[in-house]
Structure 1
Amino acid sequence: MVFWTLRVTGAKNCHPGGAANLRYNSFTGKGAKMDKTMRTDLEAAAFRRLLDHFRTHTEVQNIDLMNLAGFCRNCLSKWYREAGQELGVEISDETAREIIYGMPYRDWKAKYQKEAAPEKLAFEQSPAKHDH
């Protein structure tokens, strides 16, 4: 079995000028080696599980994600759209957000987004400004 680890270097979030560099390392254990297709399938499954988690836990606000993890649902939608562009697939911001949120973005905001406390908005003043 090969275990893959993902190491992200560079940017800590989705902001302009901060594209993260991804590097894969493999660790071989007992069993068959993992090929590129299997790795892609596992990454896709993990991504779908992350989306399901975010869709289930709507109490987790984007601003909380930004302050704690340096990315949010909007970042994921931006990365999704950019990945499509790299493969020659044009995806609008609206479509990418609907894929990530599981519903139109405006509906999600109306149903789940809460007003952020001033202290949570403090990152707006920091270098890691959220540009979504």
Structure 2
Amino acid sequence: MDKQTEIEAAVLRRLIKHLDERKDVQNIDLMNLAGFCRNCLSKWMVAAAADEGVEINYEQARERVYGEPYSQWKDKYQQEASAEQLAQFAESQPKE
């Protein structure tokens, strides 16, 4: 692995650790503010693995990002999105 790849991998590990330390930050908040969330990271991981010829399914990737099976994380930490959060999310989506 070259230095650039090592650095990028370290940054991803730090981002995942940071998100794990901020379970209070909901995915809807991340989507509304940054346009991505933990689930997006999981999807990007699946796609990057496929680009390298490695098969990782979505649930495996989610477990890597969430640090536990998603269903468990969701039960423990995910809150119901407010009407305001959902409206903001809908407004941020591309118009067709």
Q: TM-score, normalised by structure 1?
A: 0.67
Alignment correspondent of 2:77: 112
- Mapped to 2, the partners of 1:126 and 1:47 lie a distance apart of 25
Matched pairs, number: 94
User: Where does structure 1 differ by over 3 angstroms across 4 or more consecutive aligned residues?
Assistant: none
Unaligned 5+ segments in structure 1 are 1-35
Which structure has the larger Rg?
1
Q: TM-score, normalised by structure 2?
A: 0.91
**For residues 66-114 of structure 1, what are the alpha-carbon distances to aligned partners after superposition, in whole Å with 9 as ceiling and x for unaligned?**
0000000000000000001111111111101001101000000000000
Per the TM alignment, residue 127 of structure 1 is displaced from its structure 2 partner at its CA by 2.6
Which has the larger helix fraction? 2
CA RMSD of aligned residues (A): 1.6
**For residues 44-86 of structure 1, what are the alpha-carbon distances to aligned partners after superposition, in whole Å with 9 as ceiling and x for unaligned?**
1111000000011100000000000000000000000000111
Unaligned 5+ segments in structure 2 are none
- Mapped to 1, the partners of 2:2 and 2:53 lie a distance apart of 20
Identity %: 57
Which has the larger strand fraction? 1
Higher relative contact order (CA 8 A, sep 6+): 2
Alignment correspondent of 1:127: 93
